[in-house]
Chain A
Amino acid sequence: MDGFLLQVFSGLATGSIYAAVGLALVMIYQSTHHINFAQGEMATFATFICWWLIDSGMSYWLAFFLTVGVAFVGGLVIQRVFIRPVERKPVLINVIVFVGLLVIFNAMSGWIFEHTLKAFESPFPVRSAVLPEYISGHQLGSLGVTLAVLLVIYLFFRFTPIGLAMRGAAQNPDSASLVGIRVTWMLALGWGLASAIGAVAGIMMAPIMFLDPNMMGGILLYGFAAALLGGIDNPWGAVAGGFIVGVLENLLGAYVIGSDLKLTVALVLIVGTLTLKPNGLFGQKVVTRV
Chain B
Amino acid sequence: MNLRIQTVILLGLIALILPWLISDFRVFQVNLMLVYAIAVLGLNLLTGYGGQISLGHGAFYAIGAYTAAILMDQAQWSAYATLPVAALVCLAAGILMGFPALRLDGHYLALATFALAMAIPQLLKYKGIEDYTGGVQGIVLDKPLPLFEMEFLGRELSEDRWMYYLVLIVAVLMFWLANNLVKGRIGRAIVAIRDQPIAAGALGVNLTAVKTLTFGVSAAYTGVAGALGAIAVSYVAPDSFHTFLSISFLVGAVVGGLGTIPGALFGAAFIQFVPNVADEISKSAPWAVYGAILIALIYVAPGGVMGMLNKLKRGDAK
Contacts and interface: CB of A to CB of B under 8 A. Distances in A.
Interface of A: 33-35, 37, 82, 85-86, 91-97, 99-104, 106-111, 115, 213, 217-218, 221, 224, 228, 258, 260-264, 266-267, 270-271, 274-275, 278, 290
12 contacts: A92-B106, A95-B110, A97-B295, A99-B247, A100-B291, A110-B283, A224-B111, A258-B127, A260-B122, A260-B126, A261-B122, A271-B100
B104 A274 contact: yes
A267 B295 contact: no
A90 to B, nearest CB: 8
B298 A86 contact: yes
Nearest to B97: A271
B94 to A, nearest CB: 14
Nearest to B243: A217
B295 A100 contact: yes
Q: Which 4 A-B pairs have the closest CB atoms?
A: A91-B106, A104-B291, A103-B291, A110-B284
A194 to B, nearest CB: 15
Given A111-B284, A221-B118, A37 B295 contact: no
Interface string B231-244: 00000000000011
Interface residues of B, number: 47
B89 interface: no
Given A218-B118, A260-B126, A261-B123, 18 more contacts: A35-B110, A37-B114, A85-B299, A91-B105, A91-B106, A91-B107, A92-B47, A94-B107, A95-B53, A102-B291, A107-B290, A107-B291, A224-B115, A228-B111, A267-B118, A271-B112, A271-B116, A275-B100
Given A95-B110, A266-B119, A103 B298 contact: no
Nearest to B100: A275
A146 B222 CA distance: 42
Nearest to B56: A267
A17 to B, nearest CB: 17
Contact of B111 (A35, A86, A109, A258): A35
A35 B107 contact: yes
A70 to B, nearest CB: 20
A101 B114 contact: no
A275 B103 contact: yes
A81 B3 CA distance: 44
B198 interface: yes
A93 B298 contact: yes
A274 B119 contact: no
A96 B254 contact: yes
Interface string B263-287: 0000000000000000000111111
A263 B243 contact: no
A108 B290 CA distance: 12
A101 B193 CA distance: 29
A96 B107 contact: no
A92 to B, nearest CB: 6
B201 to A, nearest CB: 12
Contacts of A224: 111, 115
Contacts of B285: 107, 111
Contact of B107 (A33, A107, A264, A271): A33
A103 B103 contact: no
B114 A106 contact: no
Nearest to A38: B291
B308 interface: no
Contact of B110 (A37, A100, A228, A262): A37
B64 interface: no
Given A91-B53, A100-B298, A110-B283, A270 B122 contact: no
B147 to A, nearest CB: 42
A102 B298 CA distance: 15
B288 A111 contact: yes
Interface in B92-149: 99-100, 103-108, 110-112, 114-116, 118-119, 122-123, 125-127
A104 B288 contact: yes
- Most interface-central of A102, A115, A217, A290 (chain B CB within 10 A): A102
A264 B302 CA distance: 34
Contacts of A108: 284, 288
B219 interface: no
A99 B103 contact: no
B115 A101 contact: no
Given A103-B290, A275-B103, A92 B53 contact: yes
Contacts of A263: 118-119, 122
Contact of B126 (A109, A261, A271): A261
B107 to A, nearest CB: 4
Contacts of B244: 103
A232 to B, nearest CB: 9
